[in-house]
Amino acid sequence: MTDTAAAQADETSRALLEAAHDLLAREGAGALTVRRIAAAAGMSTMNVYSRFGGKDGVLDRLFSDGFERLALAMEAVERTGDPVEDLRRCGAAYRDFARRWPTYYSLMFDRIVPEFRPSEAARATSLATLQGLVDLVQRAIDEGAFAPGDAFTVACGLWAIEHGLVSLEARTGGDEPHDAAAPFDWASTATITLDAVLTGLRSTPRHPR
């Protein structure tokens, strides 16, 4: 394939993925068919089959794209000399990602398309993103900022807390009050909760007996 042909193929793939993402965002999983994706991108269904093998291939690519975008968002966080502060900033970046890309986030974590099962390659991409968080936790342990422990387990716990917070935020209308009797300030709640957890993970000072 020539460079020009490869560039055109990439543009075609991107257009199909953008069309699928927009359909999923606007109309939900029921609208996501090969015919609708192709029509939304202004192409024939053959383009979908030749590049992705069908609807599942499109979803698989969107799933991987979501984790790649999340990884880039986490990597873009400015690092400091304090590993705990870096984890706090990454938590904020995670929330920002979920708010900016709700359709990706739902496909990645909420099974917005119930029948979709990511491929092994897509799962590997998702685990590689988690590894970035594991590495930050390991740094905190190595530098004595966190008590000794299994970095993977701690990272999974931090992820679970952030996921719970952003998922509830999405289901209660974001920063808008859910109703007059129960207003939610999710930005403050996320900050307070993450601060409390990170404080709890800090090393316990050793006192002489």
**Distance between CA 96 and CA 108 in Å, rounded?**
15
**Distance between CA 201 and CA 17 in Å, rounded?**
40
**H/E segment holding residue 21:** helix 3-27
SS3 category, 162: helix
- Average per-residue pLDDT in the chain? 88
**Distance between CA 13 and CA 183 in Å, rounded?**
42
**Closest by Cα among 110, 198, 107 to 157:** 198
Contact 65, 71 (CB under 8 A): no
Contact 132, 74 (CB under 8 A): yes
The CATH 1.10.10.60 portion of the chain extends over 1-53
Contact 39, 31 (CB under 8 A): no
For 46-64, the pLDDT digits (tens) are 999 999 999 999 999 999 9
Q: Which class in CATH covers the domain with range 1-53?
A: mainly alpha
How many angstroms separate the first and last alpha carbons of the chain? 72
For 140-149, the pLDDT digits (tens) are 999 999 999 9
Q: Which class in CATH covers the domain with range 62-201?
A: mainly alpha
Global pTM value: 0.84
Q: What are phi and psi of 43, to 5 degrees?
A: -135, 175
- Owner of token pair 């939900």: 28
Q: Assess whether pLDDT exceeds 60 at residue 4.
A: no
Task: Give the mean pLDDT of 171-193.
Answer: 73
- Owner of token pair 């029921």: 30
How many other β-carbons are positioned within 10 Å of the β-carbon of residue 46? 10
The CATH 1.10.357.10 portion of the chain extends over 62-201
For residue 185, name the pLDDT band (cuts at 50, 70, 90): confident
Task: Give the mean pLDDT of 115-144.
Answer: 94
Token pair for residue 77?
């966080």
pLDDT at 209: 42
Residues linked to residue 202 through DSSP beta bridges, in sequence order: 146
For 17-35, the pLDDT digits (tens) are 999 999 999 999 999 999 9
For residue 155, name the pLDDT band (cuts at 50, 70, 90): very high
